[in-house]
Amino acid sequence: MKVFSKSVVFVAMSLTLFNVTAAENNSTDSIIRYAIWSNPSGNFHPTLYFTDYDRSIIFTLFGRLFTLDEQQNPKPSLAENYEYSDNGKTLTLHLKPGVKWHDGAAFTAEDVYFTYATEADAGFPKDTPGFVKHLVGYEDYHSGKTDHLAGIKVIDPQTISFSFKAPYAAAFSHFADRPVLAKHIWSQVPVKEWNKATALLRNPVGTGPYKFVAFLPDQYVQLERNDDYFGGVPKTKTLIFKISSAQTVQNELINGDVDIAELSSWNNRDLQTYKNAGIQIIEQPGVGAQYLSLDTRNEKLTDRRVRQALVYGIDRKSIVDKLLYGHGQVFNTKDNPHSPYYPKVLNDYAYNPEKSQALLKEAGWTDSNGDGFVDKNGKNFTLTLNYPTGNRTRELTAPIIQQNLKKIGINVVLNVADFNATLSILQDKTKVYDGVLMGGTFRPGEYDNNFWWERFSTPQLDTFASEFSTTIDPERLKTSIDGWLKGINQEAPHVWLYIPNIGYALSKRVTHYHSYPYEPFADVANWTVKQ
Q: What is the dihedral of CA 202, 203, 206, 210, to 10 degrees?
A: 100
**Based on the domain organization, do 481 and 395 belong to the same domain?**
yes
**Based on the domain organization, do 340 and 462 belong to the same domain?**
yes
**Based on the domain organization, do 215 and 110 belong to the same domain?**
no
What is d(CA 238, CA 462) in angstroms, rounded to the nearest whole number? 47
Q: Are strands 435-441 and 288-294 parallel, antiparallel or unpaired?
A: antiparallel
**Based on the domain organization, do 332 and 427 belong to the same domain?**
yes
Q: What pLDDT, in 10s, does the model give residues 145-169?
A: 999 999 999 999 999 999 999 999 8
Residue type, 60: T
CA distances from 60 to 223, 234, 358 (A): 9, 11, 50
**Residue 155 C-alpha from the chain's centroid:** 32
Domain count, the chain: 3
| Contact between 421 and 431 (Cβ < 8 Å) | no
The domain spanning residue 133 has which CATH number? Answer: 3.90.76.10
> Would 47 be classed as within a structural domain?
no
Given 121, 148, 183, the domain boundary residue is 183
pLDDT of residue 246: 80
What is d(CA 69, CA 29) in angstroms, rounded to the nearest whole number? 31
Sites in the chain below the pLDDT cut of 50: 1-27
pTM of the model: 0.78
**Based on the domain organization, do 397 and 303 belong to the same domain?**
yes
Given 167, 183, 199, the domain boundary residue is 183
- What is the number of other CB atoms lying within 10 angstroms of the CB of residue 447? 25
pLDDT of residue 323: 93
Q: Could you tell me which residues come within 8 angstroms of residue 53 by beta carbon, excluding any fewer than 6 positions away?
A: 36, 37, 38, 39, 40, 41, 419
The H or E element spanning position 459 is helix 459-468
**Based on the domain organization, do 250 and 344 belong to the same domain?**
no
Positions of E strands within 381-432: 382-388, 411-417
pLDDT of residue 260: 97
> Would 107 be classed as within a structural domain?
yes
Bridge partner residues of 387 (DSSP): 416
**Based on the domain organization, do 252 and 151 belong to the same domain?**
no
What is d(CA 472, CA 83) in angstroms, rounded to the nearest whole number? 14
What is d(CA 1, CA 50) in angstroms, rounded to the nearest whole number? 6
**Based on the domain organization, do 509 and 459 belong to the same domain?**
no
> Would 7 be classed as within a structural domain?
no
pLDDT of residue 250: 92
Residues of the domain holding 247 = 208-285+504-529
Q: Could you tell me which residues come within 8 angstroms of residue 466 by beta carbon, excluding any fewer than 6 positions away?
A: none
**Based on the domain organization, do 311 and 460 belong to the same domain?**
yes
> Would 36 be classed as within a structural domain?
no
> Would 133 be classed as within a structural domain?
yes
Residue type, 17: L
Q: Could you tell me which residues come within 8 angstroms of residue 358 by beta carbon, excluding any fewer than 6 positions away?
A: none
> Would 43 be classed as within a structural domain?
no
**Based on the domain organization, do 383 and 471 belong to the same domain?**
yes
